[in-house]
Structure 1
Amino acid sequence: MDSGRWRCPAAEGPVRARLRLPGSKSITNRALVLAALSDSPSLLRGPLRARDTSLAVAALRVLGCSISESGTDLAVCPPPDDSGSVAPLTVDVGNAGTVMRFLPAVAAVLSAAPVAFDGDPRARERPVGALLGALRTLGVPIDDDGRGALPFTVHGPGSVRGGAVTLDASGSSQLVSGLLLAAPRFDRGVEVRHEGPPVPSLPHIEMTLRMLHGAGAEVSADGSPRPSLWRVRAGRLRLGDFTVEPDLSNAGPFLAAALVTGGAVTVLDWPADSLQASAGILDVLTRMGAVCTPGPDGLTVTGSGVINGIEADLRDIPELCLPLTSAAALASGPSVFTGVGHTRAQETDRLAAITKEINALGGDVTELPDGLSVRPRPLHASPGQAFESYDDHRMVMAAAVLGLATGGIEVPNVATVGKTFPDFTALWSSMVRGESGT
């Protein structure tokens, strides 16, 4: 992909498309971890190939795993039992939250060597201190010079005591998943209790538990309807032959395109029983005016040409906040999105970034303590006007949605979308041109 500027294509009419999207990043990186911790080799079918997953593969190879490509699949062999090297190791997390938060516990159980973690400058600002504190409580020596952030070093003895731990996971659900995924290899398993403001993206913790259960772990959660206590017993894992679902968060901008243009977009292979928060995605789209129709080959979302303003808590689907904000800026009435205050600490401060860029087009977006208020106004882009990406893949997707109705938008450093979707701009442009039928 060209790392320079990308001119977002404007839609000349309703888009009509049938799309097959790449695999889920969240599922791919969880599956990689479970495969690395399994007792036998695993095969991942249809994993995502993007920067975040490449960083996870590289990190697991550093820890002794053998990972090889087999067509579009990945074959993963856990480290041999005699891989007891004590030479210091280094893991580059880039700006991947899943690598930064999933791999420290894995390093503690797979490596007797010190493992140094570091990454991109922005990654050093993302919350990880609660996880490091929890790992110390569970028996893992960690050196972070008291910062609670990257860089840090895990001095894993090759085993972890485990047990009960309490932490504040309001900064990211990955702080909990990072403990649960490795817990079957802890001597006593783990009991993780959250205390603090609500945990965002709870469906991602449910994803973790379901994938652990599918790999043979004994898991439970307490605190319905929003659990705050999770248990994983010590035991053996066997992921085996595992198929990765399409990434439904990456489907968000394409489905928003149907809403914005009054068109119809079919996402092929949309899972009937998804590990992801599909119900929350479809609920918000329906409330904004779309018709969502499941079929034998996937899900079709159809727009009427009218976008409803809504009030919605996006706590469980925060990755859709930016493309939905773009759609809301083109709606027939105001919208308020809440539950996304934690996204200030993601690849960029997403609430500040989207507010600045939409308002530069003449929009009226206001930051709230926990979200955004969006009042639709006529938008206009000067020829070649930049919509900054802030090194955030979701900002590229938000720009694409706005560009459908606001010609002239250009995104600098568009290659940042390769974090989770390297072919995004090509597939988007094909959709707008009516060339994306499958």
Structure 2
Amino acid sequence: MTTSPLLLSPSPQVLTKATHGTWRLPASKSLWARALLLEAITQQGHIKREALPLDIPEDIRSLQEALVAYEQGATEINVGESGTAMRFMTAYLAATASRPLTLSGLGRQHQRPIAPLVTVLRELGAHISYLEEEGYPPLQFTPGKHFGGLAHLDASSSSQYLSALLLLCPKMKVGYTIDTRGEHIASYPYALMTLEQLRAYGYLWEEAPRGYFSYLGQREVTTPPPLYEADWSAASYAYALISLLPIGSTIKLLGLSLPSLQGDATHLVHIFKLLGIDTEPTEGGIMITQRGKLTPSHEPLAMHMNECPDLVPAVVVALVGKNIPFTLTGVAHLRIKESDRLQALSNELVKLGVRLSLGEDSLSWDNKTPLCSECMTTPLSPHGDHRIAMALSLLALRLPSLRMEHPEVVGKSFPNFWSEVAPYISQESY
């Protein structure tokens, strides 16, 4: 994929009659990342590192390379721009470090907070220090003598802190406990996904009461679970795209399962059903169909997104593209993603005439400032964020000759994205 800016326009006929296509989605990086960490902790070898596909999401490659670097004796480990790799490696190194080493990243990594996780790991016995700004990477690790016990965690800004701690259970004794009851858990379904994936590998947890997690030990598993279900978060761009296509259009999404361990599945199906999109399981995946029957409402569409933050960019683009006013709440923690996603959406959509309203924990649009082709005077910037780039590019179906800088950022989670949208959106470097 070229790194030159792209000129994006609807492909011929996609807006005049129903179209039918098939998408090959990347493997779920959420499931894959957890499986990689479990392999490293247990050395069960269920994942063949040398067999990784060429179109692997960069997040997964970053985590794998970090784990390999540690095993090969590196004392300086860099996880690139992968927030997942940063959090999972922080927990992994805290529990396993046998030598002094540093963990760092690129891009916004050193501006994304890690303090809630580091505080808990120190409580469990880890020796971790900040090398620059307090509360943020890069980090210094030195071997500790004891690791385990009761962890008190604030997971209100990221469920990955909780998942990282849950995944350490193969190194822990029965009775290892994580208490998150002080704050609401962000993206709670992702924590449930981690628990179910651990159960599939034989590691048993109990959550009672809600937010209080106790490790019960391991049972024998004779057959390791399948690892590579397709990514439901990546599917959100297919859903957003089909919502902007003519009635009757269909897209088959290969590799998806319903029900799914991935929490985004339930939310994505529900949200887009409100927008007239049907979801039906089929052989080898699911089929989504543009029915065109919107759920009637006399008020702006209101949705709480705390449990599915990765869907926000695609949902915003679909709603703007369909001229549906909205209010999204539970979105505060989107400010500490690869970009400040709330500000990024606001900054870029205003270039297209759309003025969003940002609150402390909300994002809304009153439909009084619709998309405007005459307003496009500068290219759109993805702000270094794969989800911003993929979502905004779909507005080419409404505003021909949309220009997108740095299209290569999609490689972080969906390397083949531009190939999958090519039948619908033509692309020309300029």
What residue in structure 1 maps to residue 261 of structure 2?
275
Deviates more, 1:136-145 or 1:214-223: 214-223
Q: Which amino acid aligns with 1:143?
A: S
Q: Which amino acid aligns with 2:373?
A: A
SS at match of 2:281: strand
- Corresponding residue to 2:227 among 228, 239, 243: 243
For 1:200-211, what aligned pairs fall within 5 Å after superposition?
200-211=186-197
Q: TM-score, normalised by structure 2?
A: 0.88
SS at match of 1:150: coil
Q: CA deviation at 1:357?
A: 1.1
Distance of 1:111 and 1:363 partners within structure 2: 49
Structure 1 residues 342 and 334 mapped into 2: Cα distance closer, same or farther (>3 Å)? same
What residue in structure 2 maps to residue 61 of structure 1?
68
What residue in structure 1 maps to residue 391 of structure 2?
398
Matched, 1:252 2:259: no
Q: CA deviation at 1:415?
A: 0.8
Q: CA deviation at 1:183?
A: 2.2
Checking the alignment, whether the CA contact within 8 Å between 1:259 and 1:307 is kept in structure 2 is: no
Structure 1 residues 430 and 231 mapped into 2: Cα distance closer, same or farther (>3 Å)? farther
Matched, 1:148 2:135: yes
Q: TM-score, normalised by structure 1?
A: 0.86
1:151-186 CA-to-partner distances (Å, cap 9, x unmatched) read 1112234x7521111121111000111111012202
- Corresponding residue to 2:371 among 358, 366, 379: 379
Distance of 1:156 and 1:50 partners within structure 2: 31
Distance of 2:425 and 2:3 partners within structure 1: 21
1:66-107 CA-to-partner distances (Å, cap 9, x unmatched) read xxxxxxxxxxxxxxxxxxx6xx61221212111111112212
- Corresponding residue to 2:23 among 10, 19, 26: 19
For 1:293-372, what aligned pairs fall within 5 Å after superposition?
293-305=280-292, 310-372=301-363
Q: CA deviation at 1:284?
A: 0.5
SS at match of 1:42: coil
Q: How many residues align?
A: 408
Q: CA deviation at 1:241?
A: 5.9
Distance of 1:97 and 1:431 partners within structure 2: 31
Distance of 2:165 and 2:23 partners within structure 1: 35
1:252-277 CA-to-partner distances (Å, cap 9, x unmatched) read 01111111113221212321231102
What residue in structure 1 maps to residue 213 of structure 2?
230
Structure 1 residues 237 and 40 mapped into 2: Cα distance closer, same or farther (>3 Å)? farther
Checking the alignment, whether the CA contact within 8 Å between 1:46 and 1:243 is kept in structure 2 is: no
Q: CA deviation at 1:188?
A: 5.4
Checking the alignment, whether the CA contact within 8 Å between 2:200 and 2:225 is kept in structure 1 is: no
Checking the alignment, whether the CA contact within 8 Å between 2:353 and 2:372 is kept in structure 1 is: yes
What residue in structure 1 maps to residue 163 of structure 2?
177
SS at match of 1:211: helix
Distance of 1:302 and 1:385 partners within structure 2: 34
Structure 1 residues 160 and 59 mapped into 2: Cα distance closer, same or farther (>3 Å)? farther
SS at match of 1:360: helix
1:96-128 CA-to-partner distances (Å, cap 9, x unmatched) read 111111112212333311221111141111121
- Corresponding residue to 1:407 among 371, 375, 400: 400
SS at match of 1:266: strand
Deviates more, 1:230-239 or 1:206-215: 230-239
Structure 1 residues 396 and 6 mapped into 2: Cα distance closer, same or farther (>3 Å)? same
Q: Which amino acid aligns with 1:381?
A: S
Checking the alignment, whether the CA contact within 8 Å between 2:306 and 2:330 is kept in structure 1 is: yes
Checking the alignment, whether the CA contact within 8 Å between 1:170 and 1:196 is kept in structure 2 is: no
Checking the alignment, whether the CA contact within 8 Å between 1:289 and 1:306 is kept in structure 2 is: yes
Q: CA deviation at 1:187?
A: 4.2
Q: CA RMSD in A?
A: 2.4
Q: CA deviation at 1:17?
A: 1.2
Q: CA deviation at 1:23?
A: 0.1
Counting aligned pairs with the same residue, the percent is 27
Distance of 1:155 and 1:199 partners within structure 2: 29
Distance of 2:212 and 2:113 partners within structure 1: 20
Q: Which amino acid aligns with 1:416?
A: V
Structure 1 residues 350 and 330 mapped into 2: Cα distance closer, same or farther (>3 Å)? same
Checking the alignment, whether the CA contact within 8 Å between 1:43 and 1:240 is kept in structure 2 is: no
Distance of 2:113 and 2:275 partners within structure 1: 32
For 1:10-159, what aligned pairs fall within 5 Å after superposition?
10=10, 12-13=14-15, 14-43=18-47, 49-64=56-71, 89-144=75-130, 147-157=134-144
5+ residue gaps in structure 1? 66-84, 434-438
Q: CA deviation at 1:240?
A: 4.0
1:35-84 CA-to-partner distances (Å, cap 9, x unmatched) read 1112532136987712111111111102217xxxxxxxxxxxxxxxxxxx
Matched, 1:214 2:200: yes
5+ residue gaps in structure 2? none
Checking the alignment, whether the CA contact within 8 Å between 1:130 and 1:169 is kept in structure 2 is: yes
Q: Which amino acid aligns with 2:279?
A: C
What residue in structure 2 maps to residue 389 of structure 1?
382
Q: CA deviation at 1:192?
A: 1.1
Distance of 1:182 and 1:289 partners within structure 2: 42
Structure 1 residues 235 and 108 mapped into 2: Cα distance closer, same or farther (>3 Å)? farther
- Corresponding residue to 1:430 among 409, 419, 423: 423
Distance of 2:19 and 2:220 partners within structure 1: 45
Distance of 1:365 and 1:191 partners within structure 2: 42
SS at match of 2:140: strand
Q: CA deviation at 1:244?
A: 1.1
Q: CA deviation at 1:418?
A: 0.7
Distance of 1:165 and 1:411 partners within structure 2: 44
Structure 1 residues 425 and 137 mapped into 2: Cα distance closer, same or farther (>3 Å)? same
Checking the alignment, whether the CA contact within 8 Å between 1:50 and 1:418 is kept in structure 2 is: yes
1:219-254 CA-to-partner distances (Å, cap 9, x unmatched) read 11134xxx3122224558978463311001001011
